[in-house]
Copies of this chain bind each other. A is one copy, B any other.
Amino acid sequence: MNSSFFIYISGMKRKIRQERESEIIEGFYQLAKEVGLENASIAKIGKFLNIPPSLIMHYFPNRDFLIQALIRYILEHYQLIYEPIIEHLNVSHKLDVQELVGRLFSREWNLLFDDGVFYSCYALIFRDKSIRAAYKNLHLALRRTLEDILNQDSAFAEMDTRQLAEQIYVVVEGAYYYLAMIDDEEEYQEKLQYFKKQVLGLLQDEVNAEFRR
């Protein structure tokens, strides 16, 4: 064995480690989805995955490491699922705004992602600076992606696309927050239309564009 400071784990062992860590975090996420983050204990994760709790602690020294890893997992997946949806619009000079708005509010990706765990973790930003920073990074990245898309269309050349991206996302995120409270499908669709129209208004509002500069 070499004597460097770094723990060198070769081949198989490294793979085992990576796979176990992933398995544990995914199990943690799945369980939190079912019983709530506050009830997803290490013992329960072990039972859920059929491994002893001590194995979990072998990879994650304490609960905080587990939470940090869960948040990394959630934010990575949020971005991984969401960004391609708006990224692959293939803007050939002219952006299809209807299509963009449709994708921003798409419920498809919503089905792939559970909001309960996301907001439980979000609530942690108020007491943990590093979690706050991680959440901020995700939200900035989403805005930058949208900004880039807008910049590809010359129609927005005169507009402050950074501001526009901020304004669009604040509606999208406010809508997700609010619509989660609404069970009735008809009411849901009605309000969703309000917000889609609102974003379309932002994108088409050339008068405002000048006013805002």
B-side contacts of A191, CB under 8 Å: 166
Which bracket fits the contact residues of A?
35 or more
Q: Which of A167-181 contact B (CB under 8 A)?
A: 167, 169-175, 177-178, 180-181
Q: What 1/0 flags go to A100-130 for Cβ under 8 Å of B?
A: 0000000000000011100110111111010
B-side contacts of A169, CB under 8 Å: 174, 178
Is A135 positioned at the interface, with any CB of B under 8 Å from its CB?
yes
Is A212 positioned at the interface, with any CB of B under 8 Å from its CB?
yes
Rounded to whole angstroms, the CA-CA distance of A171 and B169 in the bound complex is: 9
Q: What 1/0 flags go to A133-151 for Cβ under 8 Å of B?
A: 0011001000000000000
Is A72 positioned at the interface, with any CB of B under 8 Å from its CB?
no
Q: Which of B37, B114, B175 contacts A170 (CB 8 A)?
A: B175
Stretch in A7-15, A89-97, A193-201 with 4+ CB within 8 Å of B:
A193-201
**Once the chains bind, are A183 and B132 in contact (CB under 8 Å)?**
yes
A110 to chain B, nearest CB (A): 12
Is A52 positioned at the interface, with any CB of B under 8 Å from its CB?
no
Q: Which of B123, B126, B177, B207 contacts A174 (CB 8 A)?
A: B177
Is A154 positioned at the interface, with any CB of B under 8 Å from its CB?
no
**Once the chains bind, are B182 and A178 in contact (CB under 8 Å)?**
no
Is A99 positioned at the interface, with any CB of B under 8 Å from its CB?
no
Q: Which of B129, B135, B181, B201 contacts A132 (CB 8 A)?
A: B181
Could you tell me which A residues sit within 8 Å of B by CB distance?
36-38, 114-116, 119-120, 122-127, 129, 132, 135-136, 139, 163, 166-167, 169-175, 177-178, 180-183, 191, 194-195, 197-198, 201-202, 205, 207-208, 211-212
| A and B contact pairs by CB, cutoff 8 A, 17 listed | A116-B123, A116-B127, A119-B119, A119-B123, A122-B123, A126-B180, A132-B180, A132-B183, A163-B194, A166-B194, A167-B194, A169-B174, A170-B171, A174-B175, A174-B177, A177-B177, A198-B202
Query: Told that A135-B181, A170-B194 touch, could you supply 16 new A-B pairs with CB distance under 8 A?
Result: A36-B123, A119-B119, A119-B122, A119-B123, A120-B120, A126-B180, A136-B182, A139-B181, A167-B194, A169-B174, A169-B178, A170-B198, A173-B174, A174-B174, A201-B205, A205-B205
